[in-house]
Structure 1
Amino acid sequence: MHSFPVTIYYDETDLGGIVYHANYLRFIDRARTDWVGGLGIDQNAMRAAGTIFVVHRIEADFRAPARLDDRLVITTRPLSVSSARLVLDQQVLLGDCCLFQAKVTIVCITTDGKPRRLPPALRTIGENA
């Protein structure tokens, strides 16, 4: 499981000091990018070679609000992987409390929009998912 720290700043909140709902998607996206980079996958090199990651599906549950100055941890854990699809569990945690949880399905496409197999570094994590 991968962990990614996030501190909530003023610009990420609404007038009530609560995190604006769309920012949770930004947080989990940053955590996924950090996780993929930690696997040794260079997304700039992938794009230069004509392949990119895209989110195919997100199932999200908002459980409790995060607030200004909260120090959160976003966890990323693979649930399943095939040659063409990766499903992740991502959680936004404040201490032991899960504030937000998402099941995210990632696929690869060419820069022309055609399906492409996942990189080998991601396909091999399926043995450990």
Structure 2
Amino acid sequence: MHKLNIRVYYEDTDMAGIVYYANYLKFIERGRSEWVADLGIDQLALKEEEGLVFVVRRVEADYLAPAKMGDDLVVETETMSSTGVRWVLNQRVMRDSEVLFQAVVTVVMMSDTGHPARMPANIRQLVH
């Protein structure tokens, strides 16, 4: 499981000082991006050298409790399943031991021309 620490800033909140709902998607995107980088996958090189990019295909999200300005959060990311064309992740945004937001995210690989593509074998091994 990968963990990313995030602090909630004023810019993340609405007028009530509560994290704006769409920002949770940004938080989990950062969590995925950092995890992929920590696995040793260079997404820019993957695009430039092989013409492949990761694309979010589906997000099932549950908003369970609000985060507020000044909160220290942790984005947890773990693989639920993976195939040659699909990577399904469980992502949670936590404050201490409380789950504030949870999402199941399906990521697929696409060519830079917008067509579905298989993940290279070395990447399949890393994300499994």
Superposition TM-score, scaled by structure 1 size: 0.95
User: 2:27 is aligned with what amino acid?
Assistant: F
- The corresponding residue for 1:57 is 58
**1:39–1:121: 8 Å Cα contact kept in structure 2?**
no
| Alignment partner of 1:112 is 2:106 | no
Matches within 5 A, 1:1-129: 1-49=1-49, 50-124=51-125, 125-126=127-128
2:40, 2:117 → 1: CA distance? 19
1:85, 1:79 → 2: CA distance? 11
Q: List structure 1 segments (4+ residues) > 6 angstroms apart after TM superposition.
A: none
For structure 1, the residue ranges without an aligned partner over 5 or more in a row are none
For structure 2, the residue ranges without an aligned partner over 5 or more in a row are none
2:122, 2:91 → 1: CA distance? 19
Per-residue deviation, 1:122: 3.6
Per-residue deviation, 1:120: 2.9
Determine helix, strand or coil for the equivalent of 1:20: coil
1:21, 1:79 → 2: CA distance? 24
1:121, 1:92 → 2: CA distance? 29
Percent of aligned pairs with the same amino acid: 47
- RMSD, aligned CA: 0.9
1:33, 1:80 → 2: CA distance? 18
**1:64–1:99: 8 Å Cα contact kept in structure 2?**
yes
1:26-83 C-alpha deviation (Å, 9 max, x unpaired): 0000010000001110000011121111000000000000000000000000000000
1:90-112 C-alpha deviation (Å, 9 max, x unpaired): 00000000000000000010111
Determine helix, strand or coil for the equivalent of 2:15: coil
User: 1:106 is aligned with what amino acid?
Assistant: V
2:18, 2:58 → 1: CA distance? 26
2:120, 2:91 → 1: CA distance? 20
**1:41–1:121: 8 Å Cα contact kept in structure 2?**
no
1:59, 1:43 → 2: CA distance? 24
